[in-house]
Structure 1
Amino acid sequence: MPQRKEAYPRPVPNPGWGPLSTLPGNPLMWVLILSEMVVFAAFFGLFAWLRIGEREVFDASRQLLDPVAGGINTLVLLTSGLFAALAVQAISAGRIRRCRQWLAGAFALGVAFCVVKVMEYADKLGAGLVPETNTFFTFYYLLTGFHFAHVLFGLGLIALVAWRISHDNVETAAAFWHMVDLIWILLYPVIYLLR
């Protein structure tokens, strides 16, 4: 049975938002995204600064992380981001059912990311590696936990958008989800790989 196509044209840019007017999705989401990027940048900067003074502690602690789990989560999250982009493409073509399918795929992979992360947290906590262990683990939990909270928020956004579907809503959720991807792409090497 062919998909029912409904008109979901790209909305007219939001007047009065200056350079944000032409960005996809709701301009207010872009304000949120930019402010969150500033917060994460501050955390990354503080992490790098503290690492200079405690290089041996940071290097030894990093060895206790599982880069494979982090790598799997990177692939899962990037694929989820691809699905979000394909959802935008589908809604732009008026393919509502296909858009919802891509959103469901993005959501499922977001949940998979959470499952891997919770298993990783359980492993570290079970080994006695808590935020108070040292500065590295304080920032490991702070940075990955803050990112995890953004993943959960993004999952809620994707679910809401799949229910209240519109071109603007899908673009807005996808923009936020791509920010979540970008943060993880920066977070993974900084926490798990760089020596």
Structure 2
Amino acid sequence: MVVIGLTGSIGMGKTAVAKMFAAEGVPVFDADAAVHRLQGPGGRLLGSIEALFPGSTGPDGIDRAAIGKAVFGNPVALAALEKIVHPAVAEERRAFLRRHRARPMVVLDIPLLFEKGGAKQVDLIVVASAPAWMQRRRVLARPGMTPEKFRRIVRLQTPDHVKRRRADVIVETGVQKHETRTQIRHLLTCLRAKLRR
């Protein structure tokens, strides 16, 4: 099995690229979706998070505003939260790989692939990337996003130019969607041909 690690900074189109892989029949593990499940209504991490950050959870799961206030700009609190979340996500990822072990390839959609050492666990690194002005425009269009919040998020992430340098494949998302889809299909054609050899 070829394990493709898909990453990209906020607003770079990584989610759209993941959907394109899925549409081509490649199983995709979405780390963000796993986090939402684990922290959503009835999620198994809610008790641990509430114990550490009282008042940060409720019947709808985690209160994003409350947890954001508790950890943004506080590296110690953020590290404590990550200590709860990251092992649980890793467990979900291992279960996904077991479920799909007979497949020729899978995609691990991991936003912090470089930042958290996940690059060592994949065979091929794909980085979704777009021009900085486009990234900014996309992110600032999101509800509740501010320029200051955007700057804080970007500071926590490996810069795009570094990700591009470390990538095995760069998927350009600053183009028309059909052009991005063509890049994905070309990559999959090459990988499938290699696997047949």
**Could you state the TM-score of these two structures normalised by the residue count of structure 1?**
0.32
**Could you state the TM-score of these two structures normalised by the residue count of structure 2?**
0.31
More helix as a share of residues: 1
